[in-house]
Amino acid sequence: MSTKTKAERETIICRAQDEHEWHVFSEDPRVVRKLARLHGPGKPKGEGLVWFLPPTGISFRAPRIAVAAGARKPNAGMLAIAKRRTEQKGAS
């Protein structure tokens, strides 16, 4: 058994349009651990493992956009509560 370098370890996700399940093959230990935790043990294939996942087993989402701490917009509800508190303190 030859040991592959990090550049040679791959993860392949595929599904033909007429198929109803995803075929996921991976030799990457991190991906293998995650798939095993989420979908159970995979079937051995070559030096990696393969999983057959339902259509909902893979999700493609838009990436999150990180907002800098100073650039966050204040919560309107919290601003209203703070304003009422300061008004109440001023009336006392």
- Whether 8 has a pLDDT exceeding 80, the answer reads yes
pLDDT band, very low/low/confident/very high, at 27 (cuts 50, 70, 90): very high
SS3 (DSSP) at 15? coil
The verdict on residue 12 lying in a domain is yes
Domain count, the chain: 1
The verdict on residue 55 lying in a domain is yes
Nearest to 55 by CA among 30, 79, 77, 24: 24
- Whether 35 has a pLDDT exceeding 60, the answer reads yes
Reading the block at residue 27, the tokens are 């030799």
What gap in Å lies between CA 89 and CA 80, rounded to an integer? Answer: 14
The verdict on residue 77 lying in a domain is no
- Which domain does 49 fall in, by range? 1-60
Owner of token pair 């508190």: 85
Reading the block at residue 78, the tokens are 């919290």
CB-CB contact of 54 with 21 (8 Å): yes
